[in-house]
Chains A and B, each alone.
Chain A
Amino acid sequence: MSTARGIVIVGSGQGGVQLADSLRGEGYTGPIDLFGTEVHLPYQRPPLSKDFLGVPDETGQDATALPIRAEKFFVERDVTFHPGVGVETIDPAAATITAVDGQVLPYRDLVLATGARNRALRIPGAELAGVHSLRTLDDAAALRADLLTARRALVVGAGFIGLEFAASARAHGVEVTVLEMAPRMMGRVLSPEMSDHFHGQHTAAGVRTVFGEGITEILGEDGRVVAGVGSSGTRYPADLVVVGVGVLPNIEIAQQAGLAVGNGIVVDEYLRSSDPHVWALGDCCAYPDARTGALIRLESVQNAVDQAKILARTLTGTPTPYAATPWFWSHQGGNRLQIAGLIPTDARSVLRGDPASGSFSVFRFVGDDFAGAESVNNAADHLAARRILDRSLPLTPEQVADPTFDLKGHSRTSPVPAA
């Protein structure tokens, strides 16, 4: 076994795997070790709450997980993948990690791509059969098995995961009730206008939503869920409960190693932690927003993949700060939501297009500054908004509101050089 110090990646999700790929793409020839706590080949998470839970198509094929890269990728790129092996401790002084199987591995650079985990619901009955959360392939497989026989589902939390599941469950003909403590759907990320639109769409599809309602207890019979009890005292009969109440970054290993942590592992614009040879990327890291300098933590494929690509450059000798425009998506029934930019919740909304048509956007402004856009079934607006943000092009509320304004053409113009 080689004793050369290479790059050790902790976490085999989208960011960790992309980093291994990009390191080879950038010409790195040293050892790469990729550790992942799950036994599966790395797979894509977003389809797990959408296609994977869907109704089989006319060919009758059951859903299977979509790999991020096939098995032979790891062989061909000489990436040592350690499936089902978590990393237990880091010794930054010695520059070694200790894995759960006892192996101690030295590193030149260590990258933490440990992701996030679902926030647990700590209420009576949370352990009953039929109560699910959804993050891993095993979660999705268990949920899918129950979904095929379920009649009534209760969803706790009207965020992306809960609503994507709700749409999938309706496609199976399952009755769905969604409980949400806030007064509207996806309220932490969306404008009121877009929240309302999605509320209307879900309602039309037969999803019942109760706002201002939490859950206090889950009732069971013979070890299986039969109902949830809302904070109002209302009893919601259900044979399936899905909990989607947010996530927590996996920072414990960094904390144990004495690295700076907050809401995520704290890194600089190069994704370097408080130790010069330890880095972090993806859902687990808190990094400075290129526009405002504020430490932010994002949960998205785009962020993990783009950070991995940037970090591969830095680790191969071309230090590159991370400044990509964030974007997100969610697919709920026939509604495809795409968000460009990081939008403060109190931003001002300007409508573009007609919500009644099912394809429109809400452009959002802080003062007169364009902050980002939410689009539904409108890739053209979304991509134009992304180009405008990428290039820091000017955009006014009046332009957005004018249906004759050529947004796409504008988004392809060159930035005006600073005077």
Chain B
Amino acid sequence: MQTDRLAPRAAYLLVGVGGLIMLAPFYFMFVFATHSRTEIFNLPPPLFFGQDFMLNLGILTSKIPFWRSLGWSLYVALASTALTLVFCSMGGYAFAMFEFRFKKQLFTLVLGTMLLPSFLGMIPTFMIMDAFGWIDQPRALYIPGAASAFGIFMMRQFVLSSIPKDLIEAARMDGCGELGIYWRIVMPLLAPAMGTLGLITFIASWNNFIGPLIVMRSPEMYTLPLALRSMQSPVNTEWGAVMAGSAIATLPLLVLFAIASRRLIDGLTAGAVK
């Protein structure tokens, strides 16, 4: 990084204050997790931590199989992330670097599916899962997700912006096989993009709620969003427990982000073209 001169302090201040504003609602989630629902509904709401966290956790674990749902969420998110990264990096690379038949049409079609809201696919998706016998199976959540239009699009854009064509050509000249090129040259260069896509995929899977709503019938197979939502009713919701659940559910994402961001932001020397 070049630091020719210190950026003006005002800019730092602005970024700092902006960051605090961004964090405020997040802070409240953790604060609410430690209060009873009666207190949460006070106005103004509680601004500091209370003592009811364990109480909320007790309500939570008695009403829903919370830890089990957490486990399923983790399993599905990890599987989904791994599959998506492999398939989408392969596909995105092919779209960016090769010419093949119907490439344009196929890509347009892929983008096209991004343009339709997901709940419209609810009934047909349910039909497919039913035909495959995948109802109540975690694979119904992570396999379809691996064909992510978003992932293909993103990988393609990354390959276009960061991998020079002549690098690939040079590797071919050196007698490197096609899969070897993908594996040894493209993959390492895509690492930051992989980190980003991995993070986004994980988060999307973690917070996905329409998917599990369609395919999961048994409470013991519920992922977190479904389990937490199953505690809500228009007339009687244990908000304190729901907030505690939401707060705990956010922790794995925080950890993941901490790990991924280090990799993301420490960056890689993209100086492969030498």
Partners in one complex: no
- On A, residues with C-beta under 8 Å from B are none
